[in-house]
Chains A and B, each alone.
Chain A
Amino acid sequence: MPTADAFLEVTDLKTHFPIEKGFLVKKRVGTVKAVDGIDLTLAQGEVLGLVGESGCGKSTLGRTILQLIPPTEGTVVLAGRNLAGLRGGDLRRARADFQMIFQDPYASLNPRMTVYDTLAEAISTHKNIPRGEMPRRVSELLSRVGLSPRFIRKYPHEFSGGQRQRIAIARALAVEPKLIIADEPVSALDVSIQAQIINLLIKLTREMGLTMIFISHDLSVVKHISDRIAVMYLGRIVEIGPSVEVFEKPLHPYTKALVSAVPIPDPARERHRKRIILSGDPPSPVNPPMGCTFHPRCPYMIEECRAAYPPFVDYTPGRRATCIRLHEINPPA
């Protein structure tokens, strides 16, 4: 759905990984369809939450959008430029526009580089800054993420998990990107530290007008931070809509089950809640079921669900889901 004010537009994006057998003569014996036909449009300054369970392809989608994994098919248009076609130097230069924040702040920072080195490297990769001006730039970045500039000569091991994640965020902001993809940025952190990082990300997106895709398996965190939520199942988006609405009135049967499984920290409500328990594990993306990939686990399954993958059905403006019985199972109130 191309719209006029689309800042990021992903069209029919597919990432397939070959499964090969053999040592010298490789033979292709199958395909993992990690991302299988994603259409996504983000407006400038929008925060989109991407949720789904492990193996649903949400991280692969994030990495494919940033061209860390080359897409098999489809286009990614950021501010009018197709990233999917870029190669070599063009791609490297374009990377100044989009950055990633990773899950594990212990693994994503180089332990042998000081904070200054890490941030200065990020800045000088994309910008020509006179040597003398660099310390000021780095200090600015640090204060922007809530760290004191006097930590500039310290190494990652001298920081706590939350502080390291701040440094990782500073590194992503160093090139003044337009798009940030944050892949589970708070999942490795303790509750109280998680709150600091969530606050920081909200503050930064508001102040800098950043467009962000926030990937997480934690629905309550995603609801808190994003404007819209997209729910993924087996390489495809099954539902998309404004975050509070998706969380409070999920439309797709999978989203219903997912939301009902999120524990609420309120004993009175939690104990009288109806859970939708899904039978079995998600099917393998190597050999997805025919028709709607969710039908083997779906409590609303009918014969037609086996026929073809359902198209998006509009429910209300801005809310869509891929279920042929969408209106039937969600009668208007």
Chain B
Amino acid sequence: MPLLSVSNLSTAFHTRNGIVRAVNDVSFHVDKGETLGIVGESGSGKSVTCYSLMGLIPQPPGRIESGTAMFDGVDLLHCSKRQLSDLRGKRISMIFQDPMTSLNPYLRVGEQIIEPLLIHGKISRAEATERGIAALREVGIHDGAARMRAYPHQFSGGMRQRVMIAMAIITNPELLIADEPTTALDVTVQAEILDLIKKLQQDHGTAVVFITHDLGVVSGFCDRVQVMYAGRIVETAHVADVFREPKHPYNKALQRSIPAMQRKGAELYTIQGLPPDLSKPIPGCPFVPRCEYVQPECHAPVHLEAVAPDHESACTRVQRGTLHLREQPPETMSATRIDEAFTEEPPVSGRHGQQPV
């Protein structure tokens, strides 16, 4: 039985410019101890998905329109506030992207680290402090006793993210949701933080949901990956298959557009146009206007379906077997399409309000 199983989650934001369907009929599961990567560009709904599970969507303007998220017999989307608070910060923790803004600058770091313990456990302050120091040691901060009394501004970015991780793991959660935890960090620090999360995961058997836009990070860190586009999951598979055998044109396009996977100086593949306006109804596949393999049948509604063992895709043509997205040698990858950018339309004014605040 999976640790977390989400079905048909839809989250919308009711704004002045209409209803923005940020997450649209998303279903997935997380097994015990595994690492699930959620990849997508900004506005693809990857963060909103996780915020919905944690009850962090401001309502209004946000609204969870449908769906269930079962975690150990509790539906996170429909349980009482009390039930959710019992789980949150104890059995499910979250690490946020920006360690600069997600710590309270007025409180000593120690106070913030032991807060989840004091809220959830019947534990004395002294004992909590003891465990706080141990948690800091676990994330590689050795002079914990002294560091507990410091304020966030006295830490560097990497150290702050360690503090955030210490705070998230102090209750030994079964599920850790990490929302771009290394995006704001330098590469060498990123490598350290990723190693740290991996080690903690092995020690405690924690399942991790890892949200990122960086395919490089995904490849080394995740067991399974799901690719999101326009609020939907378009492909999900084991990490090796996502790279070796992309089964959705968007996933493939994404890989062709990153320099790390291309010959030096080669023209990078560019995905034409812009992601669709999520406040307008999208009848068929949301990638249709930008897809180079589009056929008339793509305008019909499409859902995520298994196209190979443990490999699901939401591409109509892949599902019907009329499209095979094999990896091409790098030489043939540099199709010249930049000139088409001349005809690129600017987005309709006001569309930038899409991102929920």
The answer to whether B186 and A54 touch across the interface, beta carbons within 8 angstroms, is: yes
The answer to whether A195 and B268 touch across the interface, beta carbons within 8 angstroms, is: yes
Mark interface residues in B257-295 (1 if CB within 8 Å of A CB, else 0): 111111011011111001000000000000000000000
**Cα separation A145 to B225 with both chains bound (whole Å):** 35
B123 within 8 A of A: no
Interface hub of A224, A275, A278 (most chain B Cβ within 10 A): A224
Complex: chain A residue closest to B214, CB-CB: A263
A110 within 8 A of B: no
- Contact A198 B349, CB 8 Å, known A192-B254, A220-B258, A261-B190: no
Complex: chain A residue closest to B340, CB-CB: A146
- Contact A154 B270, CB 8 Å, known A270-B216, A275-B191, A281-B156: no
Nearest Cβ distance between residue A174 and chain B, in whole angstroms? 19
Q: Which residues of B contact A217 (CB under 8 A)?
A: 186-187
B346 within 8 A of A: yes
- Contact A203 B254, CB 8 Å, known A158-B347, A270-B216: no
Number of A interface residues, CB 8 Å? 51
B215 within 8 A of A: yes
Mark interface residues in A161-191 (1 if CB within 8 Å of B CB, else 0): 0010000000000000000000000000011
The answer to whether B188 and A278 touch across the interface, beta carbons within 8 angstroms, is: yes
The answer to whether B159 and A157 touch across the interface, beta carbons within 8 angstroms, is: no
Out of B42, B215, B260, B269, which one reaches A190, CB within 8 Å? B42
B342 within 8 A of A: yes
- Contact A198 B259, CB 8 Å, known A147-B342, A217-B187: yes
- A-B interface, 10 closest residue pairs, ranked by CB to CB distance from nearest: A263-B216, A224-B259, A220-B260, A195-B257, A270-B220, A195-B268, A261-B191, A53-B186, A265-B215, A146-B341
Q: List 14 A-B contacts (CB under 8 A).
A: A54-B186, A146-B344, A190-B42, A192-B271, A194-B257, A196-B338, A196-B341, A199-B338, A225-B265, A263-B190, A263-B214, A267-B220, A278-B188, A281-B189
- Which residues of B line the A interface, CB within 8 A? 41-42, 156-159, 186-192, 195, 213-220, 239-240, 243, 253-255, 257-262, 264-265, 267-271, 274, 338-339, 341-344, 346-347, 349, 352
Give me 20 other A-B pairs in contact (C-beta within 8 A), A195-B259, A199-B268 excluded: A146-B341, A148-B342, A151-B346, A159-B347, A192-B253, A192-B257, A192-B270, A192-B271, A195-B257, A196-B268, A198-B268, A217-B186, A221-B259, A223-B259, A244-B264, A262-B216, A263-B220, A267-B219, A267-B240, A270-B216
